Structure 1
Amino acid sequence: MLKKVYTILLALVVASGFTARADEGMWLPLLVKRLNHVDMQKQGLQLTAEEIYNVNNASLKDAIVQFGGFCTGEFISKEGLLLTNHHCGYDAIANNSTPEDNILKNGWWAMTKEQEKKNDGLFVDILVRMEDVTGQVLQGITPQTPEQERTKLVGERMKSLSDAAKNNGQYVSYVRDFFNGNEYYLFVYDRFSDVRLVGTPPESIGKFGGDTDNWMWPRHTGDFSMFRVYMAPDGKPATYSEKNVPYRPKHHLPISMSPVKEGDFSMVFGFPGRTTRFMAGSGLGMAVDQSNPMRIKLRERRLALMKEAMDASPADRLKLASNYASISNYYKYFIGQNEGIKRMKTLDKKASEEKAFQTWTDADANRKALYGSALSDINASYAGQRDYNLSAIYRSEAALAPQLISHAYQYTPLYNYLKEGKVDKTKLDQLVKGYQDMNKEFYANYVPSSDQKIFAELMKMYYTDVPKAQHAAIFKDLTTTYKGDFRKWAADVYSKSFLASEAKANAFLANPSLKTLEADPAFKFMRNVQTNYQENIMPKLNEYNASLARANRLYVAGLREMNPNKVFYPDANSTLRLSYGTVKDYEPRDGVNYKYYTTLQGIAEKEDPSNPEFVVPAKLMELYNKKDYGRYGQDGELRVGFITNNDITGGNSGSPVINGRGELIGLAFDGNWEAMTGDLVFDPEYKRCINVDIKYVLFIMDKFAGAGHLVNEMTLVDKGNPNTTFNPSINDVKMDGKMEIETPEGEIKIKKKGNETKIKKETKKQKS
């Protein structure tokens, strides 16, 4: 427990004229004290820098975990209770579902710890420490060191430092580069691999709005799920065992029961994935005028053909709905990204910055010798990439895009195993079982007639748009076997491939043969495209990327030297970061204002029983109609989500949104469409982080699901009063056991059995 989380440390700056703003950057918590703390205080932070990050004492960083290597989670009880997004826990929930007990669809909550469900392969990483090791990695390396030698030395040193930090397997550790290879940091983690599912709302809450609402605000998704981390009885990480006990985190986040207000300080703490905000204008230009337009063009055609099938058949509509929405989401993303870059005049700004950089470089002989060719080398690298970029895009967005071909691609592991020649029956049976399960899901949503049309159309676009010299050899069949008739080619592939039929696919799996797989026209096409890409396209792209890496490193180093008074932040790279800002509404276009929060009323308004994405559970509607919100509502309404202007990206899913006192107020799960530029450039006007309100999470657990015992386990802060915390009163719940109320002075222990209640106060002095 933080010693001062509930103590106001600093007076708010009210009369200073300070205006809340979005703060660009995903910052390393190690450097907060030096770089950000004063600014964060001005915006409403009431914690010390040490209470945010501290190696030797409990701090906020001890409550944050990397969930499964791809999301973020946070501890919300002293017994290892962990909160993350529903979409982050989706696989674990689905894997624990059966046709007889579909907890993904219906929701589920463990009423006792014994009921919590194990999850093979799921782990969480908890940061032990991070350390600047730049000096050790770059020792003796100078600008004159040949690039190949530099790469070798850096790689060896990163591995050596990482291996030493593992302490003979006690920790998980790695070294990551920052600022395009100008700095290096070591990260050391405890990895806990006994992570059990505690509960999930039904999919109609956890994924409400589905892909239709993805990246959109207003939003009404209860995107959360709950797990518990377990450890060995001696406190060390351990694989699953019934003897394991709940993990005792050094710190867990208290939960604020105060209303979230516009202008409130907000901090997002998590593991953002990847950004490339130092990208030069030539790279952005390639994205804006080549990569994104081609992706938009290809997806637009796919969507049009799918819509034809969906409009013609209600059954096909249901089968294709999810895939259609998924394709549409990134279609929207690429459009939004381009519109944002153009609206912000990012390319003009980049050109101005680069001109200033070149002028500064050329003004000094030493700088010119070191940085003078950086921009020209970057531009040359992107110019070279442009020649092969279409091949890369059309491989993923056209050649491998049809359902049948993407399904064929999934058979690659089986192909590789059969090609080894030494087949172990047990391993083969495991592979086959996996494919049989995969086939059930694939063919349930497969519409061959529509997919065949898409194949013909996309192959025609591939053939027309990709330079002929870069075509896969199989496209020669067009001029020989099919005489340029794409529809005839498609008909042949789809009629002869055993992968186009569930029965034939399962018959193949009953006796898998390398010869049969290699001869299948769908698999053969996929392999031919892949081989062409790996042998002819990827080596060229790698060649340009190698020269680009060196030029980018020099360019970023020069930018930082040119602006010594500017505080730079590194690009996100899946390491622990924090961003800070405020709760804030926005106006996406003229005459439109989006309020900073949504309510349960919006769920009722969106309800559509005929659309799986907008089905509302009957009990939730009942609670809404009765306005039965308990202590989780306010002013006759129940808030569902809210937005802040925090800087986030992929990987931040599940990150806690924390107020100025260090209390949990929400759970980040998405960004808004108007600021899709985020991975490339920060948008200070429109950038919003979309969050589930923590009180909606508690409401669903308690009032909807009847899992109030889990709420009892948490530390709830009473109406923002930093001097008291509370759990439900005895009158609020039926209980037979004990309850603890934590205060700054100590704990009040309440034991209740039948009609008898005993209250014992234990001071902190007594406890020590």
Structure 2
Amino acid sequence: MKKTLLLLSLVAAPALAGEGKWTPQQVLELSPAWLRAQGLQLPPKKLWDPKRGTGLLAGTVNVGGCSGSFIAESGLVITNHHCAFGVIQEHSTPQRDLITQGFLASKREDELPGKGSRVQVPRSFTDVTKDVLASVPEGADDVARYKAIDRKEKELVAECEKRPATRCKVVSFDGGVNYTLVDAVELMDVRLVYAPPRGVGEYGGDEDNWMWPRHTGDFAILRAYTAPDGTSAPFSEKNIPYKAEFFFPLATQGVKPNDFVMVLGYPGVTFRALLAEEMAERQSRYYPAIRDVLGEAIRTLEAVGEKDAAGKIAVASQLKSLHNVHKNAGGQLAGLKRGNIVEKQREAEAAVAVWAQKGGAKWQPALEARAALLVEQSATAKSFDREFLLAVAPRLARGPAVATTVSRMAAERAKPDMERRPEYMEREHVRIKERLEREQKNIFLPAEKQLLLAFVRRAQSLPADARIAAVDKHFGKTFSEKDVAAKIDALYAGTKLLTQDERMKMAGESVGQLEARKDPLLAFGLDLAREQAELDEVKDRRQGASMRLRPEWRKAVLAHAGKPVAPDANGTLRVSFAKVQGYAPRDGAIYTPQTTLSGLLAKNTGKEPFDVPEKVSKVAEAKRFGAWQDTKLKDIPVNFLSDADTTGGNSGSPTVNGKGQLVGVNFDRVWENVANDFGYNPEVARNVNVDVRYILWMLDQVENADALLRELGVRKGAPVAGETR
């Protein structure tokens, strides 16, 4: 990537060691002396070779929206338990409940394939800013601007993906100051090797989620496979383990307080480049709406799931996800208030504006862009309630979600591929069909009906100028629980959408063919999909305006900073440099940076969410620590904190030491740090990691996974071919 305003000269060290999600290219611009002083023992070019466009950082992989890392040449990948939860759920039944019991493959033939599971290995990053910006016609309005950039991105991706087993995307930095083409190898055969019992992988449940102290073994081990010739291929018994060029050996010595670590991964999205008023909108409307709508859905799923063992498994994955987002929203609200983040952003913007005014004509476009962005934000806020409900709520019930997906897929298929919405292009069809197939494991009718009832109730309470026409058409304009419930019963009784074979047929049909089915749930989905498509057109215009305005303002912000500024997270490979350290969450309280097995046992109540599995508690109570005891703690370290700059998408990120060895697996942030998405606060910016010694203790003393330990290189002796235990 060429040096631009995005990549300011980084010869000086960042102002805050932990702040910044740095791109691989930016790492090469950082001062080597500063990195050595922090604790990096490798030459920076070992992390990323600009000539090859790869390096040790490429041992960090994308695992379906989470991060992960290779930990052996033989394709072993470590990530979070919650990131592998879909595969675990897929193979669970009331008779063989892998969610509760955990899983260890005794040999490679027993490893469990995950439908649609993929691992993406980064291959190159190319600056395509000039190409993208040159695609916008002179005098284009905002819709034309959006469509021109969207078209150019699709063309670049299509050219990139001419190579087999390649997954590419174009991402923007700082709202459009820079555009980068990301190229990755996609491995399509991914299998579950090990998952701890739920009482380890989810210990503490939602009560401990986002909290410290923590005692959760949130890790799982997968293996990526290829065809015998080393190329990516779908699942086959003939496939062989992927040979990883870059991987992170396990550091059996672990970490201690003040140690240098790096957290590598694919952070999803942060909001530090938003204007203060845009942040205020999220604080006043978006996160409260998330808490309200998702909170109701959680209560519904918990209530109906408890009445049926199979239903509990069916809703488990969705419930887990909803809990995480719901609690996150609460943390965002608390953090925004605690840190006065909106107010600080207003002050920062004002300082940039004063500086820009002194610059005269040079920065006048930036000031005008900021003013125009504020007008756009104000207009968007007026339609928030309807847009939020239309986008979020119907996706809580799987039936309407599937119905709208099939409907949108059919409508988009009628267009030339390059004119379709990106998420419905031909390249996405395999993924969509895999999701539609997997949905069969998530459907539980009692929950379905209650979630749809709640959505209809909310939609029918919208004002007259913000109605959802599809709801009015199929359920009426006023809410009567008895009448709506009866209509929902009829909807589900008359549909074939929830039958897997029929649903997969629908995925290949035209809008006319879908309409001809006269399927009531599908008919509702078709009408709902049309409104979603209309809303997308509105959002395209807004995005076009942002593409026109935000880069001008961001250029001024970056120039005013006069120091390195890492761009907001956008799902691309990043590195955060950090130290292992505790923090003071409030007056009179100081948290140490490590927790132990003894602390885990002290929390044990024998009931969820603090129910330690018997096979774990027996070994722990007997103090069978093996080789994994921390000599200073005289115990097994379970979790540790560092001040890394992380966010959603960093789940499963490898935490490595200065030698490039894995010392832990990131899985969370502390409650006080959730609003880190809007601004880094070094006092409370702490991420939570599973200590590698707890992982090794589980595999060794609890699971007796001898061959797996040998494969990981932490036990002498070569593993027996094809054996994982």
TM-score, normalisation: structure 2: 0.81
Which residue number corresponds to residue 442 of structure 1?
443
8 Å CA contact 2:460, 2:472 repeated in 1: no
8 Å CA contact 1:125, 1:189 repeated in 2: yes
Shift of 1:376: 0.9
1:48-83 C-alpha deviation (Å, 9 max, x unpaired): 11121125678422322222x422221222322221
Residue type of the alignment partner of 1:385: T
Asked whether 1:624 is paired with 2:620, we answer yes
- C-alpha distance in 2 between matches for 1:343 and 1:107: 39
Which residue number corresponds to residue 657 of structure 2?
659
- C-alpha distance in 2 between matches for 1:199 and 1:61: 24
Shift of 1:345: 1.7
Which of 668, 672, 675 pairs up with 1:674? Answer: 672
Which residue number corresponds to residue 721 of structure 1?
none
Which residue number corresponds to residue 693 of structure 2?
695
Which of 557, 560, 568 pairs up with 1:559? Answer: 557
Asked whether 1:373 is paired with 2:368, we answer yes
- C-alpha distance in 1 between matches for 2:107 and 2:193: 9
Asked whether 1:407 is paired with 2:403, we answer no
- C-alpha distance in 2 between matches for 1:141 and 1:382: 23
Which of 579, 585, 609 pairs up with 1:588? Answer: 585
1:651-705 C-alpha deviation (Å, 9 max, x unpaired): 2121110112221100011222222213333232222211111111111112111
- C-alpha distance in 1 between matches for 2:656 and 2:265: 11
Shift of 1:165: 4.6
Which residue number corresponds to residue 486 of structure 2?
492
Shift of 1:105: 3.4
Shift of 1:112: 3.2
Shift of 1:111: 3.2
Residue type of the alignment partner of 1:352: E
- Secondary structure of the equivalent of 1:372? helix
8 Å CA contact 1:385, 1:541 repeated in 2: no
Q: 1:506 to 1:164 in 2, by over 3 A?
A: closer
Q: 1:121 to 1:636 in 2, by over 3 A?
A: same
Shift of 1:90: 2.1
Q: 1:143 to 1:213 in 2, by over 3 A?
A: farther
Which residue number corresponds to residue 342 of structure 2?
347
Q: 1:304 to 1:419 in 2, by over 3 A?
A: closer
Shift of 1:392: 1.6
Which residue number corresponds to residue 385 of structure 2?
390
Asked whether 1:601 is paired with 2:570, we answer no
TM-score, normalisation: structure 1: 0.77
Which residue number corresponds to residue 637 of structure 1?
635
Matches within 5 A, 1:9-24: 23-24=18-19
Unpaired stretches in structure 1, ≥5 consecutive residues: 1-17, 423-430, 717-726, 738-768
Shift of 1:317: 11
Shift of 1:384: 0.8
8 Å CA contact 1:419, 1:514 repeated in 2: no
1:541-580 C-alpha deviation (Å, 9 max, x unpaired): 43333212321121112222333x2111112111111111
Q: Please say which of residues 249-258 and 537-546 is displaced more in the overlay.
A: 537-546
Aligned-residue sequence identity (percent) comes to 28
Residue type of the alignment partner of 1:266: V
Which of 173, 192, 215 pairs up with 1:178? Answer: 173
Asked whether 1:200 is paired with 2:195, we answer yes
Q: 1:242 to 1:615 in 2, by over 3 A?
A: same
Which residue number corresponds to residue 647 of structure 1?
645
8 Å CA contact 1:399, 1:462 repeated in 2: no
Which residue number corresponds to residue 545 of structure 2?
547
Residue type of the alignment partner of 2:350: K
Q: 1:472 to 1:552 in 2, by over 3 A?
A: same
- C-alpha distance in 2 between matches for 1:20 and 1:419: 50
8 Å CA contact 1:472, 1:528 repeated in 2: no
Which residue number corresponds to residue 111 of structure 1?
106
8 Å CA contact 1:268, 1:580 repeated in 2: yes
- C-alpha distance in 1 between matches for 2:495 and 2:148: 52
Unpaired stretches in structure 2, ≥5 consecutive residues: 1-12, 415-431, 507-512
Q: 1:51 to 1:418 in 2, by over 3 A?
A: closer
Residue type of the alignment partner of 1:410: V
1:181-218 C-alpha deviation (Å, 9 max, x unpaired): 11122333233333333222223322333333322222
Shift of 1:235: 3.9
8 Å CA contact 2:595, 2:639 repeated in 1: yes
Matches within 5 A, 1:128-277: 128-138=123-133, 154-155=149-150, 158-159=153-154, 161-166=156-161, 168-169=163-164, 171-277=166-272
- C-alpha distance in 2 between matches for 1:170 and 1:437: 22
- Secondary structure of the equivalent of 1:395? helix
8 Å CA contact 2:213, 2:591 repeated in 1: yes
Which of 36, 42, 66 pairs up with 2:62? Answer: 66
- Secondary structure of the equivalent of 2:212? coil
- C-alpha distance in 2 between matches for 1:59 and 1:508: 46
8 Å CA contact 1:20, 1:263 repeated in 2: no
- C-alpha distance in 2 between matches for 1:411 and 1:148: 28
- Secondary structure of the equivalent of 2:595? strand
- Secondary structure of the equivalent of 2:169? strand
Residue type of the alignment partner of 1:577: R
- C-alpha distance in 2 between matches for 1:196 and 1:434: 17
8 Å CA contact 1:62, 1:249 repeated in 2: no
8 Å CA contact 1:299, 1:331 repeated in 2: yes
8 Å CA contact 1:382, 1:544 repeated in 2: no
8 Å CA contact 1:409, 1:523 repeated in 2: no
Q: 1:300 to 1:551 in 2, by over 3 A?
A: same
- C-alpha distance in 2 between matches for 1:38 and 1:446: 58
1:209-245 C-alpha deviation (Å, 9 max, x unpaired): 3333322222222121212233444444444445544
Q: 1:643 to 1:304 in 2, by over 3 A?
A: same
8 Å CA contact 1:443, 1:502 repeated in 2: no
Which of 699, 711, 714 pairs up with 1:713? Answer: 711
- Secondary structure of the equivalent of 2:680? coil
- C-alpha distance in 1 between matches for 2:467 and 2:212: 42
Asked whether 1:472 is paired with 2:468, we answer yes
1:13-41 C-alpha deviation (Å, 9 max, x unpaired): xxxxx999652111111221213544433
Which of 23, 42, 46 pairs up with 2:41? Answer: 46
Shift of 1:328: 4.7
Task: Flag the structure with larger Rg.
Answer: 1
1:687-732 C-alpha deviation (Å, 9 max, x unpaired): 221111111111111211111211112244xxxxxxxxxx34x8xx
Shift of 1:469: 0.7
Residue type of the alignment partner of 2:467: H
- C-alpha distance in 1 between matches for 2:672 and 2:517: 45
Which residue number corresponds to residue 421 of structure 2?
none
- C-alpha distance in 2 between matches for 1:653 and 1:602: 23
Q: 1:244 to 1:105 in 2, by over 3 A?
A: same
- C-alpha distance in 1 between matches for 2:704 and 2:545: 59
- Secondary structure of the equivalent of 2:117? coil
1:338-390 C-alpha deviation (Å, 9 max, x unpaired): 22112222222222222233333333443245323111111011011011111
